[in-house]
């Protein structure tokens, strides 16, 4: 499974995540697995993209320590996305993350 982290100044809301899913894959099925993750599945039931609940980061240096990436100003939100191994799922995950980041002031680390 491929994983990416979105660092943002605002917390991604459920409507924002669903809007990003439907923007990039309008025919796929959105599934709220639990309060901690939202998933996008294709028509065969294969997982395309998973977005986990955001975590509020208030400690300086966490992005540098864990990702080797510059941290945004504190506090910020850390949202993990993952996808299956296919190149199309990886591309979709990157597109979904970019849309969420554009809408809420974030970037992929």
Domain segments of the chain: what residues? 2-108
Q: Long-range CB contacts (< 8 A, 24+ apart) of 35-42?
A: 38/14, 40/92, 40/96
pLDDT band (50, 70, 90) for residue 1: confident
Q: What is the DSSP-derived secondary structure letter of residue 86?
A: S
What is the Cα 26 distance to its own chain's centre? 17
The reported pTM is 0.90
Average predicted confidence (pLDDT) for the chain: 92
Cβ atoms within 10 Å, residue 89:
20
Find out whether 83 and 90 touch, Cβ atoms under 8 Å.
Answer: yes
pLDDT at 99 over 90: yes
Name the fold adopted by 2-108.
Alpha-Beta Plaits (3.30.70)
Cβ atoms within 10 Å, residue 108:
15
77, β-bridge pairs: 8, 56
Q: Extract the tokens encoding 21.
A: 């899913």
pLDDT at 35 over 80: no
Instruction: Render pLDDT for 66-98 as a digit per residue (tens, 0 to 9).
Output: 888 888 899 999 999 999 888 999 999 999 999
pLDDT recorded at residue 12: 95
pLDDT at 22 over 80: yes
pLDDT recorded at residue 50: 96
Share of the chain above pLDDT 90, in %: 72
């Amino acid at each position: 499974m491929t994983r990416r982290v979105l660092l943002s100044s605002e917390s991604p809301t459920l409507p924002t995540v669903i809007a990003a899913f439907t923007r990039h894959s309008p025919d796929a099925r959105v599934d709220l697995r639990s309060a901690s993750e939202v998933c996008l599945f294709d028509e065969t039931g294969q997982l395309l993209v998973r977005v986990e609940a955001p975590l509020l980061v208030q400690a300086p240096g966490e992005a540098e320590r864990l990702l080797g990436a510059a941290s945004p100003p504190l506090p910020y939100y850390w949202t993990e996305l993952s996808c299956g191994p296919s190149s199309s799922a990886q591309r979709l995950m990157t597109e979904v993350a970019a849309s969420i980041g554009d809408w809420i002031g974030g970037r992929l680390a």
